[in-house]
Amino acid sequence: MIETPSLVDQYCHGVLRTELGLGTFEAHLARGEGPPAPGTTFFDTQTGFAVRRWCPPLLGLEPHCPPARYLARRRELGVPEAGRRLLRGSGITTYLVDTGLPGDLTGPGELAAAGTAEAHEIIRLELLAEQVADTSGTVESFLANLAESVHGAAVNAVAFTSLAGVRHGLALAPEPPGPGEVRGAAGRWLADRPVGGTLTDQVLLRHLLWIAVASGRPLQLHAGLGESEPGLRIDRTDPVLLTDFARATAGLGTDLVLLHGYPYHRHAAHLAGVFPHVYADLGAVLVRTGARAAAVLAEVLELAPFGKLIFSSGARGLPELHVVGARLFREALARVLGTWVAEGAWSLTDAQRVAGMIASENARRVYGLKG
């Protein structure tokens, strides 16, 4: 049996503090543009079935019990207690938490306490830029504050994450924009922008990426089925579009981590094989594909060197998703590697070593976490 005693979740969010009804819980099981179709429910998805498999036992129920029964039990325990039982049952020992999502979500400290785990913060670049814009009077002060903010955040944050792919598509010009170009774009954006306005300008998105690259912290890029914009054309987030940016940033000492990737996960694995500073994520896709997690994991393991893959849950809002991400990953990894050992393709020693690398060691090395 291949085991992974230590599990670093390299990308997730906090959990909701509020109680959820059947409908609000269900809404977190999918990433749709709208409610489920009439006559259907998001519980009838791989994510829904995976939640029903793994989570009821952690709250003292039978696997696959009906959603209404599960939610009744969750209410009975209360959100904090249910969250503690779930997070502690996930087996995750370290959470890296993107704190840039709106909504009443727990921060890294609360997540760590609830899960008796460690937690570190990931800074979302676009949110940082929007916050700086809210408090900067001029283009010059905005740009100076922006650089200072990113470098300041790099002191405590474990990584940066960028939504450039989700907001603009990943076909960004690979080189850093020139200073005049940046000033022009900043001027236009600040002039038009209401307080809290979203950053989508591609010059500023690229400028942000390059400030982050200069900080030396690992930079996580959303690719494939990503965050926040379910109806985006997914071909615009194909990680292959990052090839030229990867080449432009090679040798600078900053690692790039491609989050998600699916359904272009083989492309992400390819880039992780080609560029020494590029890593691929194995995470949210497992939560989305449920019973197919082992099959998808195996596809990523085709081209990616084993030192270049890192686990994450990609969970947001529901502690159930942290559980499902971790359990699916462990089971899928044990099944895939175990099969290869049984077939004689891999040795058991190698399989155990690779499992440890993907579950936690690669993350510890890339993010500089203590063992």
Question: Do 60 and 295 contact (CB within 8 A), yes or no?
Answer: no
How many helices and strands in the chain, by DSSP H and E? 17, 8
Would you say 147 or 234 has its CB closer to its own copies? Answer: 234
CB of 131 to its own copies, least distance (A): 30
The correct pick among 3, 5, 40, 60 for binding its own copies (CB under 8 A) is 40
Total residues contacting its own copies (rule CB under 8 A)? 74
Determine the distance from the C-alpha atom of residue 270 to the mean position of all C-alpha atoms in its chain, rounded to a whole number.
19
The correct pick among 2, 14, 16, 42 for binding its own copies (CB under 8 A) is 42
Identify residues 281-320 at the interface with its own copies (CB under 8 A). 288-292, 295-296, 298-299, 301-303, 305-308
Per DSSP, the residues of 104-117 read: SB--HHHHHHHHTS
Would you say 96 or 294 has its CB closer to its own copies? Answer: 294
Length, in residues, of the chain = 371
CB of 64 to its own copies, least distance (A): 4
Q: Rule CB under 8 A: is residue 334 a binding residue for its own copies? A: no
> Mask: binding to its own copies, 119-158, rule CB under 8 A, as x and -?
----------------------------------------
Which H/E stretch holds residue 203? helix 202-215
Identify residues 238-277 at the interface with its own copies (CB under 8 A). 238, 240-241, 243-244, 246-247, 250-251, 263, 266-267, 270, 273-277
**Per-residue three-class SS string for 24-92:** HHHHCCCCCCCCCCCCCCCCCCHHHHHHHHHCHHHHCCCCCCCHHHHHHHHHHHCHHHHHHHHHHHHCC
CB of 114 to its own copies, least distance (A): 27
Identify residues 162-191 at the interface with its own copies (CB under 8 A). none
CB of 67 to its own copies, least distance (A): 11
The correct pick among 3, 19, 44, 175 for binding its own copies (CB under 8 A) is 44
Identify residues 210-239 at the interface with its own copies (CB under 8 A). 225, 230-235, 238
Q: Rule CB under 8 A: is residue 53 a binding residue for its own copies? A: yes
Q: Rule CB under 8 A: is residue 49 a binding residue for its own copies? A: yes
Cα(225)–Cα(233) distance, rounded to whole angstroms?
A: 10
Q: Rule CB under 8 A: is residue 352 a binding residue for its own copies? A: no
Examine residue 174 and say whether the peptide bond preceding it is cis (omega within 30 degrees of 0).
Answer: no
CB of 198 to its own copies, least distance (A): 18
Identify residues 10-39 at the interface with its own copies (CB under 8 A). 30-39
Would you say 170 or 204 has its CB closer to its own copies? Answer: 170
Would you say 188 or 335 has its CB closer to its own copies? Answer: 335
> Which residues in 180-255 belong to E strands, given as ranges?
219-223
Would you say 203 or 336 has its CB closer to its own copies? Answer: 336
Determine the distance from the C-alpha atom of residue 68 to the mean position of all C-alpha atoms in its chain, rounded to a whole number.
29
The phi and psi torsions of 23 (rounded to 5 degrees) equal -70, -45
CB of 84 to its own copies, least distance (A): 25
- Please give the structure tokens belonging to residue 220: 């996580």
Identify residues 78-107 at the interface with its own copies (CB under 8 A). none
Q: What angle do CA 364, 367, 371 make, to 5 degrees?
A: 25
For 189-208, b/e burial (b = at least 16 CB within 10 A) is bbeeeeeeeebebbbbbbbb
